[in-house]
Chains A and B, each alone.
Chain A
Amino acid sequence: MAEFLQFAFSGLTVGAVYALVAIGFTLIYNASDVVNFAQGEFVMIGGMATVFIMAAGVPMPLAAGGAIVIAVAVGLLLHRLAIEPARGADAVTLIIITIGASIFLRSAASIVFDKQFHTLPPFTGETPIVIGGAAILPQSLWVLGGGVVIVTILWAFLTHTILGKAILATAANRLAAKLVGINTSYVVGLSFAVSAAIGAIAGILVSPVTLTRYDVGTLLALKGFAAAMVGGMGSPIGAIVGGLLIGLLEAFGAGYISSDYKDAIAFLVILAVLFFMPTGLFGRASVERV
């Protein structure tokens, strides 16, 4: 039992990060149909910028705030300079643009920051908390708690503010949203900003546990994309469930089956899910209209 709990803690911590990346994917996808492969770079910017602002002598909360501002600025620039000019291009063309952006941002980070691994001090110490014989780091609780808070705020934002409702409306039907006077370009930009902020916060929360470097975004984008898909592209609930699912599969796969093939196990389960549910766990099944 202690073993099971230990695996579960591991899976939830890692899965929470995947889930936050997947939510970023989902937000942007819903607003603009763009699959943003530079999503992982927001996480990287969150962690790395905090590290380097702190190194300049700024206290952590301020540094974290600065990092989020930087990530949001990058997100807005990405939208303004790369996505907006290519409006109306094929989905795959847009994907390649975001891949280009991801390569660019990664390289820029290696120049602006450096190529070393970095860590952040844990928010509240390093003494593990033992629950049912399993040890969990306080920082993992921050990651999980932070994830819950972000999702709650996001939910409140989307359902209780005009701006949020504009995002939801654009997601549901872009043309209709435009017709009722929503500036959809503004909404897409907003979704990039929010996604960037979520990514950066995730990066700050998780860097004390998982470390960070200029190139951590690649893998996160890959896992976050898989999480968003298995959950059902476009579904925020799906993104959360998908992320946690992949995290847990990796942990239990490593714990109970084979650490060599834990990623493979996760992907086999994803393939199996898609085989039975071709639009993911929470995806909308579409009827072919002709």
Chain B
Amino acid sequence: MGRLFNHPLAAPALIALIVIACGFGLGSNFYLRVAALVWISALAAIGLNLLMGFAGQVSLGHAGFFGIGAYAVAVGPNVLPVSPLLALVLGIALAAVIAYLVGRPILKLKGHYLAVATLGFGILVYMVLSNESGLTGGPDGMPVSRATLFGWRLKGVDTWYWITGGVLVVGAWVAVNLVRSPTGRALRALHDSEVAARVVGVDVARYKLVAFVVSAVYTALAGGLLALFNGFITPDVAGFMHSIEFVVMVVLGGMGSIVGSLVGAAILIALPQALSAFQEYEHLALGLILMVFMIFLRKGIVPSLVALAGRGR
């Protein structure tokens, strides 16, 4: 059992199973849509988890990258002769470049100071998306053209369910690969002790930047997928609250746990749907649940439960 758990393919395989099971188990388009939103958020959360959970660097501005990916898909085809899918690729590249340029100076900061710097970055992106209404449609948002793949028009909830689910599985697989590679070991090492990582040859500044860029790529990809899936996008996706949501997903599910990011995303996306019956008590319950989980499962849901199960054995 333990060995199965530690296999490199355990997390992506488990996620693939969940995606497939839900794909056939969820009857209505509504449930498929919620699930697809979970996959998209989980992808972003995995990206942020690589940065926060593995490399130990906080970001309160990751929705900024999400917004860059989303708006690249929306704006790209309007200003360049590119298809939405190509625009998605360009958007991811743009997010990577911006992450590189922004990350170089701000990753020198530590802890809460890094948090406030990333928060500032996120707000800058939000302001640009919200203010440049000529390009972005402003706060009311803008439509996104439908993507086509080999002449096949990508629309319909079930199509996007499988696309987003597939990307999530691949994303989880790549994340696990990274974590188990020399790069991943370097990241986890600098999380625990920067100085010890340095004296065995890890270029700490470079690896923080690597983690920042990779996580930006994940998040931008997620943003682009949401834009294509929804066909309409507003600057809220880049907002401060959205950044906070990603952080909550990572911490709630468990820092350093890929499956945890999926669990965190599922809770944050599905809970408001489940709580909608409570009407105005919805946020009351949401806040309470957040507190209770973090007080009693302080390492995050998945790692805490795994530890509990381990103790039970």
Contact = CB atoms under 8 A, between A and B. Distances in A.
Indicate if A touches B (C-beta under 8 A): yes
A97 B294 contact: yes
A55 B288 CA distance: 29
B291 A222 contact: no
Given A96-B247, A100-B288, A111 B280 contact: yes
Contacts of B291: 82, 97, 100-101, 104
A92 B115 CA distance: 11
Interface in B91-134: 105-106, 108-113, 115-117, 119-121, 123-124, 127-128, 131
A99 B113 contact: no
Nearest to B116: A229
B202 to A, nearest CB: 15
Interface stretch (A126-134, A146-154, A185-193, A259-267): A259-267
A92 B256 CA distance: 13
Contacts of B248: 96, 99
Interface residues of A, number: 46
Interface string B266-304: 000000000000001111101111110011001100000
Given A86-B295, A96-B247, A104 B123 contact: no
B290 A96 contact: yes
Contacts of B113: 229, 233, 274, 278-280, 283
Prevailing SS type, chain A contact patch: helix
B75 interface: no
Prevailing SS type, chain B contact patch: helix
A67 interface: no
B73 interface: no
A26 to B, nearest CB: 11
A257 interface: no
B127 A288 contact: no
Contact of B290 (A89, A92, A100, A110): A100
Nearest to B58: A92
A90 B115 CA distance: 15
A239 interface: no
A151 to B, nearest CB: 22
A271 B124 CA distance: 11
B112 A35 contact: yes
B264 to A, nearest CB: 10
Given A82-B291, A103-B286, A229-B116, A92 B255 contact: yes
A229 B109 CA distance: 11
B283 A263 contact: no
B295 to A, nearest CB: 5
B195 A288 contact: yes
Contact of B52 (A86, A92, A267): A92
Interface centre among A268, A271, A279, by most chain B C-beta atoms within 10 angstroms, is A271
Contact of B123 (A230, A264, A283, A288): A264
A267 to B, nearest CB: 4
Nearest to A225: B116
Contacts of A288: 195
A261 B109 contact: no
Nearest to B132: A260
Contact of A104 (B112, B121, B284, B298): B284
B286 A90 contact: no
Contacts of A204: none
Contacts of A86: 294-295, 298
Interface in A266-289: 267-268, 270-271, 274-275, 278-280, 283, 288
Contacts of A279: 113
Given A103-B290, A105-B287, A268-B124, A278 B108 contact: yes
27 contacts: A82-B291, A86-B294, A89-B294, A92-B255, A99-B248, A100-B294, A106-B283, A107-B280, A107-B283, A107-B284, A110-B283, A111-B284, A226-B116, A226-B119, A226-B120, A229-B113, A230-B116, A233-B112, A260-B127, A264-B124, A270-B117, A271-B121, A274-B106, A275-B108, A278-B110, A279-B113, A288-B195
